């Protein structure tokens, strides 16, 4: 957990994986031949489901956003509250992007 603006946030790794899976506009998932492999074994189920692929560009962008948010924010004076703006435009952009795609989520178990 990481505290930002007085609230605790965490990274939802499953959402990162889901968001970074490539989309195939013409097919649901890539076709994998349902035959035996060269060794005579059936194909790997993870490979057959298309679950082993990630869009590296999306992953790197979200990774950079996470690094920016968790690396930059620090609360120096809690007494000033809303009058302090410790965030830069790049922090705001990264934070809002991660919230929009539900990659970071607020912990409500307090």
Q: In this model, does residue 103 exceed pLDDT 80?
A: yes
Identify the pLDDT of residue 98.
Answer: 93
Per-domain residue ranges of the chain = 2-23+45-106
Give the tens place of pLDDT for each residue, 35-78.
555 566 655 555 544 556 888 999 999 999 999 988 866 655 55
CA distance 98 to 96: 5
Among candidates 78, 17, 73, 76, which has minimal Cα distance to 49? 17
For CA atoms 36, 38, 40, 42, give the dihedral sign: negative
At residue 9 the predicted structure's pLDDT band, cuts being 50, 70 and 90, is confident
Tokens of 20: 């970074």
41 in Cβ contact with 47 (< 8 Å): no
Q: In what order do the strands lie in the sheet with 104-106?
A: 2-4, 7-11, 104-106
Stronger pLDDT, 96 or 4, i.e. the higher one:
96
Report the predicted TM-score, pTM, of the whole model to 2 decimal places: 0.61
Q: Is 104 helix (H, G, I), strand (E, B) or coil?
A: strand
Q: What is the dihedral of CA 66, 68, 77, 99, to 10 degrees?
A: -40
């Amino acid at each position: 957990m990481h505290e930002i603006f007085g609230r605790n946030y965490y990274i939802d790794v499953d959402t990162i994986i889901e968001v970074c899976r490539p989309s195939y506009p013409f097919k649901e998932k890539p076709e994998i031949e349902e035959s035996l492999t060269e060794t005579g074994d059936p194909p790997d189920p993870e490979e057959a489901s298309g679950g082993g692929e990630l869009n590296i560009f999306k992953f790197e962008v979200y990774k950079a956003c996470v690094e920016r948010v968790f690396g930059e924010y620090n609360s120096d004076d809690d007494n000033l509250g809303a009058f302090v703006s410790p965030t830069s435009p790049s922090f705001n952009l990264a934070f809002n992007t991660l919230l929009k795609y539900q990659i970071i989520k607020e912990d409500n178990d307090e």
